[in-house]
């Protein structure tokens, strides 16, 4: 059960694409967000 929870939390939730984030994964969205802050 713990391995499934870890998979969902660590891999799936960070890699799956979300419509609300412009069809980006959470990891890519966060990476671009902070890159834009540093560029500003």
Number of domains into which the chain is organized: 1
Model-level pTM greater than 0.85?
no
Q: Determine the pLDDT at residue 12.
A: 82
pLDDT in tens, 1-40: 999 998 888 888 878 888 989 999 888 999 999 999 988 7
- Residue 8: CB partners within 8 Å, gap ≥ 6? none
**HSE value, Cβ hemisphere, 13 Å, CA-based, for 1:** 0
Report how far Cα 32 is from the mean position of its chain's Cα atoms: 11
At 15 the pLDDT is 81
The Cα–Cα gap between 13 and 3 comes to 14
Rg (CA), the chain: 13
What's the domain range around 21? 2-39
């Amino acid at each position: 059960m713990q391995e499934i929870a870890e998979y969902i939390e660590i891999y799936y939730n960070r890699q799956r694409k979300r419509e609300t984030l412009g069809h980006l994964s959470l990891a890519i969205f966060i990476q671009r967000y902070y890159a834009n802050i540093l560029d500003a």
